[in-house]
Amino acid sequence: MKRPGLNELKHIMEGCSRRSFLKWSLMLMAALQLPGEVFASLSAPSMSGEHLIHLYNPNTGEFFKDVFWADGNYVFESLVAINVLFRDHHNETVKSIDTNLIDLLYRMQTYIGAKNPLGIVCGYRSAETNALLRKKYRRVAKNSYHIVGMAADVRVPGVPLSSLKKLALQLQEGGVGYYPRSRFVHMDTGPVRHW
């Protein structure tokens, strides 16, 4: 997929609303700020074909539905857009999201066969936001995988939370936390464990 040049970006920006302009600006900043991190993880074993993922951030109202993997590689523009969707909405900080986490969420979506998007209740969380949440909620981990872009708190409209938890546990690909009162399942790409 070809990256747009400066003239193309200028043309895109001219027709944007303020909200769209801010979204595109965040994506561009993420692309410029994080290329080493993003490009360092641009390969994944045993994936073929095109992989489309459908995500929703209930905190910002933003959706992402596009191919993130095609022709044996991650799609750079899609990774940038996913990074923006996963951003810390408390302070608008963007971080590169672990591609293993994106792959894990894709597998979950594939197994569920959900027509609704995966709701990302919490993706990346800055250290500052994590510290504030730790003061408010006792179950927030000091060294949360959210801080390094390796965790997502997920819910799917129309899919019982208990079913989501069961599938996450069956995948055996990282940590799984069950939070029925908060209505999400935590998934991360750290060691396999559950709570």
Lowest mean pLDDT among 44-48, 112-116, 150-154: 44-48
**pLDDT of 31 higher than 50:** no
Beta strand segments in 107-174, E: 118-122, 151-155
Tokens 């900080």, located at residue: 93
pLDDT (mean) for 167-172:
96
Residue in the block written with tokens 């993880």 = 41
Domains in the chain, please, with CATH? 6-194 (3.30.1380.10)
Query: Does position 25 have pLDDT exceeding 90, yes or no?
Result: no
Q: Which two tokens stand for residue 50?
A: 């095109």
Percent of all residues in the chain with a pLDDT value above 70, rounded to a whole number: 75
**87-97 pLDDT per residue, tens:** 999 999 999 99
Strand 175-179: give its sheet, edge to edge.
73-74, 62-70, 51-57, 118-122, 151-155, 184-188, 175-179, 193-194
Say yes or no to pLDDT of 85 above 60. yes
If phi > 0 it is left, if psi is from -120 to 50 it is alpha, else beta; for residue 107 that is alpha
Per the DSSP assignment, residues forming a β-bridge with 120 are 154
Read off the pLDDT band of 47 (50, 70, 90). Answer: low
Where do we find the tokens 């074993």?
45
Reported as a single tens digit per residue, the pLDDT across 49-64 is 899 999 999 999 999 9
pLDDT exceeds cutoff 50 at 13: no
What residues form DSSP beta bridges with 54? 65
Work out the number of other CB atoms within 10 angstroms of the CB of residue 127.
15
Which band of pLDDT confidence, cut at 50, 70 and 90, is reported for residue 76? Answer: very high
Is residue 152 within 8 Å of 122, Cβ to Cβ?
Answer: yes
Residue 43 has pLDDT above 80, yes or no: no
Nearest alpha-carbon partner for 159 in 123, 182, 177, 185: 185
More confident site: 33 or 81: 81
